[in-house]
A and B are shown apart, each in its own frame.
Chain A
Amino acid sequence: MGRFLLPLAGFALLAVLLGIGLTLDPREVPSPLIDKPAPDFTLPQLHDAEQTIGTADMRGEVWLLNVWASWCVACRQEHPYLVELGKRDLLPMVGLNYKDKRNDALGWLRNFENPYNVSASDLDGRVGIDWGVYGVPETFIIDKRGTIRMKHIGPLTPKVIEQELLPLVEQLQGEAA
């Protein structure tokens, strides 16, 4: 009867594997940029193209970079949470407006409220490439020394904000520059 048990044993192994698989999130891709210096950029600001914003301007602060676009449906999903986070004024929030049209982007912020302290306008998506963006939205947390400490792919949820993002920010703000 031994060999008739083999298929069952194989399946049992598979079932355990699939069970573990369920607890993992395939979208949780480690970013090679974690704990690496944030790539430098200087981009025109969305609201005022005469002025620029870039990595250097944020040195010495724990800040959030959120990659968004007006054409991105998932961004609309996370938007209320960003607005709420912005109102709590815990850290500077920079938007990276990715492969978008200026007017569409400005209209979108007017319609849905602007959670960002400032938005950088990455019209051709080059900065996005430097930062390893491969889907919008993505969110980064950068520490006072300019090192990327967290990357979240996909829309932020209240759970991610409360349980991952904010504890990390609190810890980072306690660190020396």
Chain B
Amino acid sequence: MENLHADALVVGGGIAGMQAALDLADQGFQVALLEREPSIGGKMITLSKVFPTLDCCSCITTPKMSAVAHHPNIRLLTYCELESIQENNGGYRAKVVQKPRYVDARKCTGCRECEYACPVTVPSPFDRGLGAYRAIRVPFSTAVPQTAVLDMENCILCGKCEKECPAGAVDFTQRPESFEIQATTIVAASGFELTPLDAKKEYGGGKLQNVIDPLMMERFLAPTGPYGRVLRPGDGKEPTSIAYVQCAGSRDETLGITYCSRVCCMYAIKQAMLISGALPMAEITIYYMDIRTFGKGYEQFYQNAQAMGVEFVRGKVASIREDDEQNPVVNVELTEEGRKMERTFDLVVLSLGMVPTLGSNLSLGLPIGTDRFISIPAPNASPCASARPGIFVTGTAMGPMDIVDSIVTASSAAAAASAYIRAHQKEIVYA
């Protein structure tokens, strides 16, 4: 890989990073977009439908992915890890490693012949382990770029993919390659991770088969998902009673996560509505402390869910155990009645919260807040400016937020970054 120059380096190719890159590129700036995964799209591309409009999520994400891929001012760098940055020449020099795909991206046409030939099946992280894919594969059907990637950890080196590839793109000799990007400004769009399923031991996540995380439910509900319907991972049974445990990874001092994750109320309500559509007979109960449907159109959404028959119960779930038939049994303190009760469900979804992605944040060397998200020193003056000059933050890298807010902060970070570029580059020549 040759070294690159760009006006802006955007770290992270989820919805926030894509939007920031598009807004900068549309203003005529040269953008390098760095993504550690083999495809852009982030968490958003794995979702089913999105609140409050219930649009098909892919219908919103894929056009943005495509726009990024085809934008003449965006250089897309997938499967690349940011190692470090240092101040240089009025901007930043980023050290980046291109991880080996073991596939020549210039030759691969995304035909998937390798995938069909590969005899090794591995659980697909795109499907939260619910589905499987091959050791060599195009990461998912709408991936951008449509370039295969071989995961060496699971490869048995049988060579079938190499033989079947019509483009001669498979290359077992690839090695990680380091290169540098010199950029005037950096936009950190490093996103979030879900609170680990097993973070709160009392809830049995990770141990009890029918206690799942919300992104698994997204894959059950997504038209592109592994099953195309909602079922229990334990035994494939269609659930007739489903509980949502709110604040399962947020507002909880025992976890050291005291903040509200902002999206869990809305995604739980959305999933409840979608499940009601898919399984009209299913009873859905949401255990909550406060319902926080604060965004535009969200309160109406909440009222619609109530009207549809989704049951909202104010209560704090103390623990979850399993009965003899692997049904989760929820022990809940009903705070409006002052009593505890147990109730058995077919399936429990833990409404997990957001925690920061640490890897690239550490590489950026940015100070973090007590919540460990990137710190914003003056939120009411420069809501996207980090503590380092010329580095701007967007989306969930600066704390939990939903897609709408991520997109707005992305455009806002782009505005701040472009003003910085203007002020720090003497002359910008536009074609």
Q: Do A and B come from one complex?
A: no
Chain B positions within 8 Å of A, measured between CB atoms, are: none
